[in-house]
Amino acid sequence: MHVSEIAHLPLHAVKTLFDPERDDDPFSTIIRSVRDVFDFDQAVVLRDTGDGWQCAAAFPPALRALRWSRGPFFDEVAAGRISATCGRHHLQEWSRISDTLVDPAQPALYLPMGLQAHRGLLILLRSAGKDAFNDADISHARQLALIALAASATRGARNMQSELTELRGQVDGLRASASDAWRRAYTDELTGLPNRAMIQKRVDDILSSGNAERFALAFIDLDNFKHINDYYNHAVGDALLVKVTHRIADLVRRTDMLARISGDEFLLLVHPVESDARVRAVVDTLLEKLKQPFHVEGFEMFTSASIGVSIHPEHGRSYEELRRSADSAMYRAKSGAKGSAAFFDIALGQVMSARMELEQRLRLAIRDRQFCCAFQPKVDIRSREVVGFETLVRWRDNAGDIHSPLGFIGLATQLGLIDPITRFVLDEAIRSIDPLDDAFGAGKAIAINVAAKQAGNLRFMRSFVDALEASRCADRFIVEVTEDAFIAKNQFQTQVLPMLRGVGARVAIDDFGTGYSSLSVLADITADEIKIDRSFITNIHQRPRSQSVLKAMESVSGALGMSVVAEGVETFEELAYLLAGTRIRYAQGYHFAKPFFIEEAVTTNGTPGNERVLAMERCKPETRRVSPARAACRMRRD
């Protein structure tokens, strides 16, 4: 219908029919707009909500209070049947009131509408003084009804298009969500590489193809990456990982796959493998590429990687077997020179089996507390007096055999099992205070080793410090940590050290000189003493260069107010050099005494009871009187 043909209709009614987004009530607007066209006393708009007809608008407003299913107004209107304002199919579709057409002499006009996603029926009841709606009324009604139907159809098409657009948006959103879920499930967020799950799926797909070719898994572990994170920061470490990723990815073929499976560990699938020589060539190239310097945020960094390789089917017939084999080979490479590679072999498989057996036994030992403690004296080399003890853990298995910590502490740390062992040592050291005092005199310091990984663990160290404080003799204890802990300045020095000092405990740097500390790093450390690693002390009287390094350490430590302890003094010549060539005052080692168990040092009457400890006679004080410091400590604990 052309606009000129409906110009005589109220403009507001037409706009309302075509504008379903109006803020006001469109039904009431229509009633107000058509009053000048039709002569009626009463009008209502019924809306079919699907659950029945409801009154959406009325004139006068009081009519909205009627019950439209049985109300008198509805009965009166229905008695007039249906006027011929539009065809039967429209009335059947829109009003559902009657299937009979009547003449315009009836009392009401019924105009079908479709507004706001509902079917509607506009009922106009003519004025009381009017015999019938005239032809003009009927014509206007027809036009308005047709406009309403056209508007409804237009809105329906718009709604359908809107629904289609919304549906497409939902589909796109689902696709994006699925893509994001897939990305998070199978890719590494930092590097964009496939992750552990993705490379495992790829290997499983190759193995299940029924015609699996030979392929290799190369386990790549960056050497000493933790120190980069600790010394610089994690952002620099992440940037380095991205650089490493790009450098390795440049060597990967289309059929290969490189994945990042943990912090600084990567897994390279080389598929297919034409020959073992091809795999060795790939690994050698990787090693050389990773030894070249990286430039990250203004720093020039040097790193390397240890690589372990396993080959299908010789070294495993499942992803997990091949990964474990490559992992074991990598650890063998790491135990040798940094930046090297190793291939899995039968002997290594036996080593791996032995390691798994050891791991199981260690877990059972921790559960059953199959540990004991030995104590090694620390001696004033000038007065020959015992000034303290280092607490050393031992593993006493079911057969009664004693295992050195070198055989299990590293494994326990790697497996995350070191915390309960350290707590056991602390508890034993606290229980041994009185026996040690009885045997060697009161007030001796007791040192306990804490792994660098533990030292930066705030949760563990809080419980450790709480136990020290509960002993009421925290000032007797020295916590020994390696240099690695001090490099992580934002963790150990700024948060853990204040807790230890707050309860009176002291801190020592253990195995100094074997880690990554430089003299500049040493200047930033706020420890109480440093313990020079035995590698510097062995045959010190015959090594001029080591003598110079030792004197430098001694000078810097003295200037910073830290005492120096020489570890591993085993010969008279080594002791003689320390006495004549240095100002070092404290030492420990087999020359003075081997580590002893508390029952070996003390008998029931408090006197020495083992020949291994009798060598300490010359180091003990002449009297066993209880000093005021010892008495105060006992009173605090009691």
Instruction: Flag the least confident range among 17-26, 193-202, 274-283, 509-518.
Output: 17-26
- Residue 113 pLDDT > 90: no
Q: What distance in Å separates the CA atoms of residue 323 and residue 329, rounded to the nearest whole number?
A: 10
Query: pLDDT-based confidence at 433, cuts 50/70/90?
Result: very high
Which pTM does this prediction carry? Answer: 0.53
pLDDT above 50 for 55: yes
Give pLDDT tens digits for 399-428: 888 888 888 888 888 888 899 999 999 999
pLDDT of residue 98: 39
From the candidate CATH numbers 3.40.50.300, 3.30.70.141, 3.20.20.450, 3.40.449.10, the one assigned to the domain spanning 358-633: 3.20.20.450
Q: Once rounded to an integer, what is the mean pLDDT over residues 252-271?
A: 92
Give pLDDT, residue 136. 73
* pLDDT value at residue 150: 65
Q: What's the confidence (pLDDT) of residue 76?
A: 58
More confident residue, 15 or 257: 257
**Where in the chain do CATH 3.20.20.450 domains reside?**
358-633
Domain range 196-344, CATH architecture:
2-Layer Sandwich (3.30)
Task: Let me know: does 221 contact 265? Beta carbons within 8 Å.
Answer: yes
Please compute the mean of the pLDDT values over residues 369-386 and round it to a whole number: 93
DSSP three-state, residue 574: helix
Range from 119-123, 465-469, 494-498 carrying the lowest mean pLDDT: 119-123
Is 433:446 a contact under the CB 8 Å cutoff? yes
Residue 18 has pLDDT above 70, yes or no: no
What CATH architecture applies to the domain 3-160?
Answer: 2-Layer Sandwich (3.30)
- Nearest-CA neighbor of 108 among 129, 135, 85, 139? 85
- For range 204-223, the mean pLDDT: 87
Within 294-451, where are the H helices? Answer: 319-335, 346-368, 409-414, 418-431, 433-440
Where are the extended beta strands (E) located within 427-554?
445-449, 477-482, 506-512, 529-532
Residues 205 and 255 sit within 8 Å (Cβ to Cβ)? no
CATH 3.30.70.270 positions along the chain are 196-344
**What mean pLDDT, rounded, does the chain reach?**
79
Cis peptide upstream of residue 621 (ω within 30 degrees of 0):
no
List, for residues 522-567, the tens digit of each pLDDT value. Answer: 666 778 998 988 888 999 989 988 888 888 888 888 888 889 999 9
Q: Cα torsion for 519, 521, 527, 531, to the nearest 10°?
A: -50
Predicted pLDDT at 97 = 39
pLDDT tens sequence across 570-623 = 999 999 999 999 999 999 999 998 899 988 776 544 445 444 444 544 444 443
Range(s) of the chain covered by CATH 3.30.450: 3-160
pLDDT digit string (tens) for 308-340?
A: 999 998 888 899 999 989 998 898 888 777 789
Q: Is 62 left (phi over 0), alpha (psi -120 to 50) or beta?
A: alpha
